[in-house]
Amino acid sequence: MTEGNPCGVNELLDTFGLLAAAMLDDPLLALANAVAWLDPLWETSDDDVYDEGDGIGLALCITRSAFPDIYAGAVERIRSGASEKELDTFICGAISQRGIPLDNLEFLGYGIPLNACGIELSDPDLYAARPDLLPLVELFGIRPEPGHYSVEVPECAYTAGRVIADSLVKQADERLQQVGWALAWLFSCSGNTLIDFDDESLAEIPPLTWDENDLAFAIELIEEADGIIGDVNAGLTLLEENPILFAALEANVQRTYKALAKMKGKQDEPRIRLEWAVALTGSNGAAVPDSELLLVRRDAA
């Protein structure tokens, strides 16, 4: 090669062109080329990505199996020169749209992220953060005292809360159901783990993986929890704004406590008549009464 004549470079480019053309002419090589282009992780094992601790690499590995379309979108953005921040924003946003709230790719390695909404009635910090709950918990004999490290919860409070919540969620009126869900959240008896567990309790459960079954379950769990927490907030607002409803709840708490007290040492099942004569008015302004006769198992206390 003479000085000023890049014939060697031209030869190299020509060779590259010949190889590329030969690869496209061969169906098998063309397929391999397409796979490498469209799926850069096709021969990368999950363990390699996890060991490297690469946030973007881990996200690509997880989305490749769990969300193939998100993976394809991320690969397309990588080839377009997107920054790590742009990729983080895209992947987190796309996964969140599928029903899995995700703020940071770093959380992906710990399993499917789940947000606990539950509370612990014996925790005094709860009432400092949520003073609006004080009138409600006092109905059940829960009275936080300043300076105490723990709040005493009567033995039968959870049983009474479950009985009354179960009665309310079975009522025909949506507003009574919302109050029922508020009590189900308060006493951790909704049946949804995210509603019934606080962060500490949820952390003790093995996390859900990103496989197909766990992913479908997590999406269903989160969707149900979102609906319940909406009813919880509506129910708490109803109790705060409707003194007649609050009074009806108080009367039913007293009925339930008395019935549970009579259960001590007895083998029969007491009958509890819960009255929901609340301010649920019709067009004539009259209250719509509702009542329910419940059987409570002796071992429920």
Per the DSSP assignment, residues forming a β-bridge with 54 are none
Which pTM does this prediction carry? 0.78
Tokens of 27: 């169906």
pLDDT at 44: 60
The whole-angstrom separation of Cα 260 and Cα 281 is 32
Which DSSP category does 208 fall into? P
Residue 123 is predicted with a pLDDT of 95
- List the chain residues with pLDDT less than 70: 1-10, 12-14, 16-54, 265-270, 278-301
Burial of 107 (0-12, 13-18, 19+ CB in 10 A): middle
Q: Give the three-class secondary structure for 178.
A: helix
What the block records as the tokens of 6 is: 């890049």
pLDDT digits (tens, 9 = 90+) for 106-162: 888 889 999 999 999 999 999 999 999 999 999 999 999 887 789 999 989 999 999
Separation CA 79–CA 135 (nearest Å): 58
Distance (Å, rounded) from C-alpha 70 to C-alpha 37? 16
Length of the chain: 301
Q: What is the pLDDT of residue 282?
A: 39
Task: Bin 115: left if φ > 0, else alpha if -120 < ψ < 50, else beta.
Answer: beta
pLDDT of the residue at 147: 76
Q: Of 186, 135, 133, whose CA–CA distance to 162 is shortest?
A: 186
Closest by alpha carbon to 279, among 173, 151, 170, 125? 173
- Looking at residue 26, its pLDDT comes to 58
Bridge partners (DSSP) of residue 274 are 292
